[in-house]
Structure 1
Amino acid sequence: MCKGLSSLPSSCLEKAKVMRVKLSHLSDKQDWAHHKQKTLDEKVLQDLESLLNSKSGLQVFRWFLRSEFSEENLEFWLACEEYRLSPSHVQKAKASSIYSQFICPDAPQEVNLDAETREALLSVMDRPSVDTFTPAQQTIYSLMAKDSFPRFLRSPHRIEATKA
């Protein structure tokens, strides 16, 4: 017959209490992740463009890229979108900022572009236009679509997102 918890040594009871606290924290973390991703549904995960146009999808994808140390691709793509939509009188400053942040050698968040694309960008930096970064942005989008996005779809991030 069971004598209850009082028959267990106090060290076992203390360990059980610690485990219960740890498990409750884990449960809280999972509940929070589930809540944050609630608005992300299967349709958003069908293609990269839909994902990038969804606020919650974008956040989950950013977390995934951060976990893979490749968040700079998304940040570059977003910076190019912002640049493309910005007024012409601020484009030169924004172009310079994007170039120094993502394009130039040893940039803090250097993206993986071929030498030809880098050289083409450098040659137009003194007179940027609305489509200055379009070829580079398309290259990075293609890289994310062919490499990062398929890995994201196989990752726990995607699995957690679809539970919402």
Structure 2
Amino acid sequence: MCRGLESLPTTCLERAKEIKALFGSLLLKSDHGVTGPSKKSDRQRLNADEPLKWRESFQNLLSSQNGLCLYRAFLVSEFSEENLAFYLACEDYRATKASKLSAKAKKIYDQFIGSDAPREVNLDHATREITKKNMEQPSQLCFDAAQSKIYALMEKDCYPRFLKSSTYLELSSRTG
């Protein structure tokens, strides 16, 4: 599914197209619900009101598997998918067993925060320094400041653009 850290953007883009098509078919359904024809583990009930809930709050969007996939596809199209990938990596990191924290923290730091990080996220110097210091003794909270900054960035910048995107506007007009 789109939420996993291992998923490729192509997979998410395919899922986003599928979700868009399924929501489009709601116009033909009198019960306003349809089950997606994806893998058995990915099946979710699509509700016609779901896109409208995404507009209510950024958290509603992130809490919806369908919304998350469409949002990720949107970020890929804007070349800023690393923000969501970092946010989700931090969420996953919090659930990590203590024995694996150090290795996982290093991987996240090297991928998103460190110098020459291949998927570097946009953080101010102070937040980078706090996170770097937290890496000395990684805990489940060591990325909190950085994750909070990226969440705020997405909420104030990317999320409003997503709500104005043609894909979202098309979905919400079909269901609204």
Q: Per the shorter chain, which TM-score range?
A: 0.7 to 0.9
Q: Is the 8 A contact 2:113 2:120 kept in 1?
A: yes
Q: How many Å separate the matches in 1 of 2:107 and 2:98?
A: 15
Alignment-derived partner of residue 35 in structure 1: 22
Q: Is the 8 A contact 1:34 1:160 kept in 2?
A: no
Q: TM-score, normalised by structure 1?
A: 0.76
Which secondary structure does the structure 2 equivalent of 1:108 belong to? coil
Alignment-derived partner of residue 138 in structure 2: 128
Q: Which one of 90, 94, 101 corresponds to residue 100 of structure 2?
A: 90
Q: TM-score, normalised by structure 2?
A: 0.71
Q: Which structure carries more helix by proportion?
A: 1
Q: How many Å separate the matches in 2 of 1:76 and 1:136?
A: 9
Gapped runs of 5+ residues in structure 1?
Answer: 1-29
Alignment-derived partner of residue 127 in structure 2: 117
Taking only the aligned residue pairs, the percentage that are identical comes to 45
Residue 80 (str. 1) matches residue 94 (str. 2): no
Q: Is the 8 A contact 2:51 2:168 kept in 1?
A: no
Which secondary structure does the structure 2 equivalent of 1:41 belong to? helix
CA RMSD in angstroms comes to: 1.9
Alignment-derived partner of residue 160 in structure 1: 170
Q: Is the 8 A contact 1:34 1:161 kept in 2?
A: no
Q: Which has the higher contact order (CA 8 A, sep 6+)?
A: 1
Question: Whose radius of gyration is greater, 1 or 2?
Answer: 1
Deviation at 1:109, TM superposition (A): 0.5
Q: Is the 8 A contact 2:19 2:66 kept in 1?
A: no
Gapped runs of 5+ residues in structure 2?
Answer: 1-16, 25-45
Runs (4+) off by over 3 Å? 36-40
Which secondary structure does the structure 2 equivalent of 1:132 belong to? coil
Deviation at 1:33, TM superposition (A): 2.9
The aligned length equals: 135
